[in-house]
Amino acid sequence: MFCYQCEQTAKGTGCTKTGVCGKNEDIASLQDALIIGLKGVAAYAYHAGELEQRSEEIDSFLHEALFTTLTNVNFDLNSHIEKLLKCGEINLKAMELLDKAYVDRFGFPEPTRVFTGFKPGHAILVTGHDLLDLYELLKQTAGKDINVYTHGEMLPAHAYPEINKFTHLVGNYGSAWQNQRKEFEDFPGAILGTTNCVLLPRDSYKDRFFTCGIARLPEVKHVENRNFEEVIEKARSLEPLPEKEGGFLSTGFHHKAVLSMAEKLIEAVKSGKIRHFFLVGGCDGSKSSRSYFTEFVKKVPADCVVLTLGCGKYRFNYMELGEIDGIPRLLDMGQCNNAYSAIQVAAALAKAFKCDINDLPLTLVISWFEQKAVSILLTLLHLGVKNIRIGPSLPAFLSDNVLAVIQQNYNLKVISTPEEDLREILE
């Protein structure tokens, strides 16, 4: 970053010339957090906009908040903190808008089992987040003897009735974004990347990889206007996939589906059959320390329920955790934007138990990696949610002072070991 005031190149993302222009490390840190949070808001608002759901309030906040990060326009610490929490509030509205956009167009998600093997035949794999891209591709491939598979964050698409009605949407292949190079190399069909979390491709599959919408990669063909003809032609020209056995993954526990079990849930908590709820999920990444989340879910006691979302779920969503009185112990609520669903469930439980969200037997254990995770964290802080555990590390763009304020007010903690954290939470 270049500072136009002191004409120095600031180290990292914040100015190191404290006092020269009145800007300091903490303001730089808050501005960085705001810019990163705004990117997450923009992503959700963009997807909703593609489905003709727009909000003047969200758009004008994006403009105003970005403007406040301009050089020498705002040196006031408190107003930066306010803006950051406002970003969390606006992100909640963006996630709500996106939920409405998807539900209006594709119906309410329903709990769904998704096949993880291969069906014989030509195939297209779709990765990213944009459900409209997947829907348009399904329409264009209908009756053409091509099977469509989801990858990564597209898994929850199977739960939407208007998407799941396509019988050639046959399963989910692969896992989180960081594994895609190996997984795409091993997938013999055509591949479509719809949004963020696409990686630079290997030569081995570059010629059968396509992007559309916001996603772009060098030397990879980009599809314009959702005309997937070339992707379909490519799938046809490739060897058909052989049959491969697979298991099943569950998804589709949107808040409407979870709240349809509200009576059962409340009764199970009151009778002591459910001791605690954990929301474990978020953005995955490649650090080996992220095995924490696998171990954590493995060690969650049998009288606890795990809610999940985002691609962090692939760390454990293959596990069979069973049920408590007919309530599945592992509930996949969907993509990261379905944090909105998790918030709705928490709010409904708090209402039923006549308590504050922080008094519920609920703990959030969030894996964070990129911008959307930051915007969701800001939403949780805006809602006053405390005792969140985050990992595998704390965001490096938070200065010591900013971090101290967050920790003091919200008791935000970095994860330690699954045993230690579980012991502390359940005590």
Number of C-beta neighbours around residue 161 at 10 A: 13
Distance from C-alpha of 332 to C-alpha of 334, rounded to nearest angstrom: 6
Of 314, 315, 374, nearest in space to 339 by CA: 374
Interface mask (CB under 6 A) for ligand SF4, residues 185-224, using x and -?
Answer: -----------xx---------------------------
Task: Select 375 or 399, whichever has its Cβ closest to ligand SF4.
Answer: 375
**From 207-215, 220-228, 365-373, 408-416, span contacting ligand SF4 (CB under 6 A):** 365-373
CA angle, residues 378, 334, 221, in degrees to nearest 5: 95
CB of 371 to ligand SF4, least distance (A): 8
CB of 247 to ligand SF4, least distance (A): 21
On whether the CB atoms of residues 224 and 211 are closer than 8 A, the answer is: no
Strand-pair partners of 280: 365
Q: Can residue 314 be called a binding residue for ligand SF4 (CB under 6 A)? A: no
Tokens linked to 354 = 């006549």
Task: Select 32 or 153, whichever has its Cβ closest to ligand SF4.
Answer: 153
**Three-state SS for 208?**
coil
CB of 336 to ligand SF4, least distance (A): 4
Question: What residue spans of 169-228 are helical by DSSP H?
Answer: 180-186, 203-206
**From 59-67, 88-96, 316-324, 370-378, span contacting ligand SF4 (CB under 6 A):** 370-378
Of 44, 41, 45, nearest in space to 54 by CA: 45
Q: Can residue 370 be called a binding residue for ligand SF4 (CB under 6 A)? A: yes
Number of C-beta neighbours around residue 331 at 10 A: 26
Answer for which of 369, 375, 381, 397 binds ligand SF4 (CB under 6 A) is 369
Site for ligand SF4 in 71-130 (CB under 6 A): none
Task: Select 232 or 373, whichever has its Cβ closest to ligand SF4.
Answer: 373
Task: Select 196 or 387, whichever has its Cβ closest to ligand SF4.
Answer: 196
Q: Can residue 365 be called a binding residue for ligand SF4 (CB under 6 A)? A: no
Evaluated on CA atoms 111, 117, 123, 125, the torsion sign reads positive
Task: Select 153 or 183, whichever has its Cβ closest to ligand SF4.
Answer: 153
Distance from C-alpha of 133 to C-alpha of 194, rounded to nearest angstrom: 7
On whether the CB atoms of residues 293 and 317 are closer than 8 A, the answer is: no
CB of 100 to ligand SF4, least distance (A): 20
- b/e map 176-203, b = 16+ CB within 10 Å: bbbbbeebbeebbbbbbbbbbbbeebee
Distance from C-alpha of 305 to C-alpha of 286, rounded to nearest angstrom: 26
CB of 198 to ligand SF4, least distance (A): 9
**From 27-35, 269-277, 364-372, 377-385, span contacting ligand SF4 (CB under 6 A):** 364-372
Q: Can residue 311 be called a binding residue for ligand SF4 (CB under 6 A)? A: yes
**From 31-39, 77-85, 228-236, 367-375, span contacting ligand SF4 (CB under 6 A):** 367-375
Task: Select 146 or 176, whichever has its Cβ closest to ligand SF4.
Answer: 176
CB of 129 to ligand SF4, least distance (A): 6
# of chain residues touching ligand SF4 (CB under 6 A) = 15
CB of 48 to ligand SF4, least distance (A): 16
Q: Can residue 279 be called a binding residue for ligand SF4 (CB under 6 A)? A: no
**DSSP β-ladder status, 190-193 and 362-367:** unpaired
CB of 40 to ligand SF4, least distance (A): 8
- Longest alpha-carbon distance in the chain: 67
Run of H or E residues at 323: strand 323-324
CA distance to 12, 15, 65, 342, per residue, from 32 (Å): 11, 11, 12, 27
Distance from C-alpha of 415 to C-alpha of 150, rounded to nearest angstrom: 31
Answer for which of 177, 293, 316, 340 binds ligand SF4 (CB under 6 A) is 177
Q: Can residue 284 be called a binding residue for ligand SF4 (CB under 6 A)? A: yes
CB of 152 to ligand SF4, least distance (A): 5
Task: Select 269 or 373, whichever has its Cβ closest to ligand SF4.
Answer: 373
**DSSP β-ladder status, 362-367 and 276-282:** parallel
Q: Can residue 339 be called a binding residue for ligand SF4 (CB under 6 A)? A: no
Strand-pair partners of 365: 280, 389
Answer for which of 148, 215, 283, 374 binds ligand SF4 (CB under 6 A) is 283
Binding site for ligand SF4 (CB under 6 A): 152-153, 176-177, 196-197, 283-284, 310-311, 336, 369-370, 372-373
